[in-house]
Amino acid sequence: MLKKISAYWWCQIIGWSANIAISIFFVVTFGIIDDTYVLSLLSTCILGIVVTHIMRYNIFYFRVLEKPLKTQILYFLLLTLVFSVILGIVSESMDYLIGYNPERLQKFSRAERLFLSSFNALWLIFIWNLIYYMYHFVESNRRQQIDKIRLENLVKTLELKTIKSHINPHFIFNSLNSIRALVDENPQRARKAITELSNILRSSLQTEKLETVPFEKELGIVKDYLELEQMRFEERLKVEFDIDANTLDRPIPPMMLQTLTENAIKHGISKSIDGGTIRIISRINHQVHEIIVQNTGKLNGSIEQVHYGFGIKSTIDRLNLLFQHKASFSILDNDRHMVETKIEIPVQTD
């Protein structure tokens, strides 16, 4: 049964019990203890557990720990003051009910007693909040270190997969055959195609070096890739872009857009005799960077089955690690007979 008690409740029990023990020690050392004092101390600690638990609920409700550091400090001070007053009021009310320290009731007015009780509660709430914030700060740093290690391992795995994907015989042979056909017919286009192929291969080799890249850089690689594929598919492949200029400098995981575009070609356009359209959309919508890749066709199987592919799985894993599960991924059939893959990344504001 004890194993079912969470670390939070163990800290509550041990912390407030330590407060009782320290208070009784000092009273026994420097004075005489009586039953009403012990009852007052016990009731204050029980009320303290209830009040701090409500305060913790407010920290969760207002997502305080997810806010910038300056905002967290303001919330820390505000919550400490507010709940010190609350604890002071309920503690003084309980002391009045049990008749603790009648001399104090006669010596001070009600407002003065409430002020003194709130002031005494201030250091308890302050210490509680300080320990709570420090614990979550350390825990957050620990999780970030673990996520960073996991991300590094994932990126290395992705790099190997990406290199194999791009340096596979089919892709290179298709590209080289298309370039060979252009050497005499259109030498300028052939030179450009060689540059595009070189850019794609170079980007594959550099994947491991960065956690994120500007969207504009990733978009440039994807455009090179699509131009090479247009040589292969000719009029069967149509490409459309709807890019908000404000998204060009937004950070995204390297090769993420490339992976989604390759999936759209492989599972959509290449499966259709008539080919189809690839549409890439990038926009800011309600402080969220939306990246959408649409392709003509329908999902092959259920959404759950689609998620099992390495490209999709690695995309989801990298988004979760880089953006602490705040980014989202979805793939579905839209109402225009197209498969739509959407990534939503929250825009960080200072």
In sequence order, what are the beta bridge partners of 343? 291, 329
Per residue of the chain (350 residues), what is the pLDDT tens digit? 556 778 888 889 899 989 888 888 888 787 777 788 888 889 989 999 999 999 999 998 888 887 888 888 899 899 999 999 999 999 888 888 887 776 666 677 778 888 888 888 999 999 999 999 888 888 877 777 777 777 766 666 665 455 445 444 556 676 777 777 777 777 888 888 888 778 777 766 665 556 788 999 889 888 888 888 887 788 888 999 999 999 999 998 887 888 888 888 888 888 888 888 999 999 999 899 999 999 988 876 545 445 446 667 777 877 887 787 889 998 888 877 889 999 999 987 54
Q: What angle do CA 212, 215, 217 make, to 5 degrees?
A: 90
Placement of tokens 């892709």 in the chain: 171
User: pTM of the entire structure?
Assistant: 0.53
The full set of domain ranges for the chain reads 8-142, 167-346
pLDDT for the residue numbered 305: 47
At 300 the pLDDT is 64
Q: Return the number of other C-beta atoms located less than 10 Å from residue 117's C-beta.
A: 22
The SS3 assignment for 214 reads strand
Position 324 scores a pLDDT of 77
Superfamily the domain 167-346 falls into? Histidine kinase-like ATPase, C-terminal domain (3.30.565.10)
Q: Report how far residue 145's alpha carbon sits from residue 250's, in angstroms, rounded to the nearest whole number.
A: 23
Please give the angle made by the CA atoms of 136, 141 and 145, to the nearest 5 degrees: 145
- Cα–chain-centroid distance for residue 173? 41
pLDDT reported for residue 163: 47
Task: Establish how many alpha carbons lie within 13 A of residue 164's alpha carbon, considering only the half-sphere containing its beta carbon.
Answer: 8
Would you state the pLDDT for residue 325? Answer: 80
- Residue 49's pLDDT is what? 92
User: How many other CB atoms sit within 10 Å of the CB of residue 4?
Assistant: 6
CA distance linking residue 53 with residue 8, whole number of Å: 10
121: closest CA among 85, 172, 73, 160? 85
Contact predicate 54/167, CB 8 Å: no
Q: Which residues contact 229 (CB under 8 A, 6 or more apart)?
A: 237, 265
Rounded alpha-carbon distances, angstroms, from residue 31 to 24, 25, 27, 34: 10, 10, 5, 10
* Segment holding 343, helix H or strand E: strand 338-346
φ, ψ dihedrals at 302, nearest 5°: -75, 165
Q: Tell me, what's the pLDDT at 82?
A: 93
One-character DSSP codes across 311-339: HHHHHHHHHHHHTTT-SEEEEEE-TTSEE
Rounded alpha-carbon distances, angstroms, from residue 296 to 110, 179, 197, 239, 291: 75, 26, 25, 11, 17
Alpha carbons 226 and 280: distance in angstroms, whole number:
11
Residues with Cβ within 8 Å of 17's Cβ and at least 6 positions away in sequence, in order, are: 45
Reduced 3-state DSSP string for 217-278: HHHHHHHHHHHHHHHHHHHHEEEEEEECHHHCCCEECCCHHHHHHHHHHHHHHCCCCCCEEE
